[in-house]
Amino acid sequence: MRDASTIALNYCCTAPLLQNGAGNINIAPLFVNQASGNLRLQSNSPCINSGLNHFAIGTTDLDGRPRIVGGTIDIGAYEFQPGVRGEFIAGSRNSACPPTARQITPMRMRRP
């Protein structure tokens, strides 16, 4: 297992704040209801419009809704959708790292 100081994540909301990477924040993501698994973002979440569009995989979030709303992708698996309510798909309860984390998997697997 690698030491957290050697992992590079970009545009993630995680605690502790990782120093390797760009655009990371360690402010509470303000999920709608983390205890019940609803990891959509509240309207005042610091994760809204805090991602990097370059890392977007596909054009929809986990709910099948547009992945980019307001010009900049959100950090997390769900794009904030003003005024939208409904079913949700539970995701990770530990972080708001975007689904683009798959892009860093090869980096974590490399041997020093």
When pLDDT is averaged across residues 3-23 and rounded to a whole number, the result is 82
* pLDDT tens, position by position, 92-110: 444 455 544 433 333 333 3
pLDDT digits (tens, 9 = 90+) for 40-87: 999 999 999 999 999 888 899 998 999 999 899 999 999 998 876 544
**In the chain, what are the domain boundaries?**
1-105
Please provide the DSSP assignment of 49-68 as one string.
T-S-GGG--SSB-TTSSBS-
